[in-house]
């Protein structure tokens, strides 16, 4: 009996020990699962309430344009009888180059060009010419000979860095360049004075397959001139005369519409109104641009 009782007790002790270990494992598992759930909830609300906060998204969108070396800008503009379509690729990483493919259409006739911009010169060629007067098919010989021929505009024929394609490509409504952190912070102080987003009317829509916050933005002409003028000075363009704050009245403003991706905090589109829309993509994506080696004399 004593041996049998001991066996019973031993089995009971092992069973209790197994149950305790199982309970411990279940407790640990429950704690881990609870932690995962809490982390997921906190991350979700942190993402949506903090990272995707409309105010943060807007100002990060402005700041990101001041901290990138590559971007693609697609410009579409329509007015009575005339359509402009232009794609500009900007690469400020190692070469400071810009490439623009432009098509201007007017009443059935169109001219397409390609331009390569460097800090020192622009290279331009006609890529296509359609003349309505010749049934949109036959190009006059005088025009046909121009297609595919690169022409170089030397610094002597360009009045300032801002007349280069490169300078014009950098100066979108929000300038694009990689600005070192101290200067960028100073520029963002000026940007806060220049751009006034209406955060009470932010809406959400899809632009080019991406979710976007859409902002109504009022721009103060005087403060914007100071913002861009300081940017130009930082980039070595000097302070352009046409951007002097004194050239603008104190109450002068412009109304634009900005669309910014709340996940990447990158500008997707700027709508100027009056048929002018610019789409942005390719932030930070290297773009290969080749400078022409043979040009027309």
Q: Is 194 exposed, middle or buried (0-12, 13-18, 19+ CB in 10 A)?
A: buried
Checking if the pLDDT of 9 tops 80, the result is no
What is the predicted pLDDT for the residue at 235?
85
What is the average pLDDT score of the chain?
A: 84
First to last CA, the chain: 117
Find, among 163, 208, 169, 173, the residue nearest to 72 by Cα. 169
With a cut of 60, say whether residue 42 has pLDDT above it: no
Instruction: Record the tokens describing residue 164, joined without a space.
Output: 């280069």
Q: How far is CA 189 from CA 73, 195, 230, 233, in A?
A: 25, 10, 11, 16
Number of H helices, E strands in the chain: 6, 12
User: Rounded to an integer, what distance in angstroms lies between the CA atom of residue 163 and that of residue 151?
Assistant: 16
Assess whether pLDDT exceeds 60 at residue 201. Answer: yes
pLDDT at 52 over 60: yes
What integer pLDDT is reported at residue 296 of this predicted model? 79
Is the pTM value of this prediction over 0.95? no
For the stretch 67-89, pLDDT in tens is 999 999 999 999 888 999 999 99
Task: Quickly state the pLDDT bin for 120 (edges 50, 70, 90).
Answer: confident
Hey, what CATH topology would domain 59-281 get?
Answer: outer membrane lipoprotein receptor (LolB), chain A (2.50.20)
Does the structure show a pLDDT above 70 at 279? yes
**Domain limits, the chain:** 2-51, 59-281
Burial class of 123 by CB neighbour count within 10 A (0 to 12, 13 to 18, 19+): buried
90 within 8 A of 169, measured Cβ to Cβ: yes
**Chain segment 127-137, per-residue pLDDT in tens:** 988 876 655 55
Residue predicted with more confidence, 99 or 32: 99
> β-strands 70-79, 276-281: how paired?
antiparallel
DSSP letter assigned to residue 140:
P
Q: Tell me which range, 7-16, 55-64, 91-100, 283-292, is most confidently predicted by mean pLDDT.
A: 55-64
Paired sense of beta strands 203-207 and 151-153, if any:
unpaired
Whether 162 shows a pLDDT value over 90: the answer reads no
Q: Are 270 and 66 in contact (CB under 8 A)?
A: no
Q: What percent of the chain stands above pLDDT 90? A: 51
Q: What is the pLDDT of residues 204-237, one digit of tens each?
A: 999 999 999 999 999 999 999 999 999 998 888 8
Query: What pLDDT score was predicted for residue 197?
Result: 98
């Amino acid at each position: 009996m004593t041996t049998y009782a001991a066996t019973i007790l031993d089995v009971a002790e092992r069973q209790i020990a197994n149950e305790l270990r199982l309970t411990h494992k279940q407790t640990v598992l429950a704690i881990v699962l609870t932690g995962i759930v809490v982390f997921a909830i906190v991350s979700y609300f942190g993402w949506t309430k903090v990272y995707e906060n409309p105010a943060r998204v807007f100002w990060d969108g402005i700041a990101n344009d001041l901290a990138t070396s590559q971007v693609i800008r697609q410009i579409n503009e329509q007015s009575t009888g005339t359509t402009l379509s232009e794609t500009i690729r900007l690469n400020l990483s190692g070469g400071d180059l810009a490439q623009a493919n432009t098509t201007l259409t007017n009443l059935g006739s169109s001219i397409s060009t390609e331009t390569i911009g460097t800090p020192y010169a622009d290279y331009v060629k006609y890529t296509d010419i359609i003349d309505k007067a010749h049934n949109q098919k036959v190009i006059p010989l005088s025009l046909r000979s121009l297609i595919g021929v690169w022409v170089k505009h030397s610094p002597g024929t360009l009045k300032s860095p801002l007349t280069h394609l490169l300078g014009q490509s950098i100066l979108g409504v929000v300038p694009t360049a990689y600005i070192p952190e101290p200067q960028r912070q100073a520029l963002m102080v000026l940007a806060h004075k220049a751009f006034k987003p209406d955060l009470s009317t932010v809406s959400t829509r899809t632009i080019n397959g991406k979710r976007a916050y859409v902002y109504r933005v009022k721009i103060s002409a005087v403060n914007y001139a100071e913002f861009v003028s300081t940017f130009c000075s930082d980039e070595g363009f000097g302070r352009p005369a046409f951007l002097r704050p004194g050239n603008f009245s104190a109450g002068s403003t412009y109304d634009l519409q900005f669309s910014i991706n709340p996940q990447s905090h990158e500008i997707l589109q700027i709508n100027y109104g009056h048929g002018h829309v610019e789409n942005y993509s390719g932030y930070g994506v290297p773009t290969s641009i080749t400078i022409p080696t043979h040009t027309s004399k």
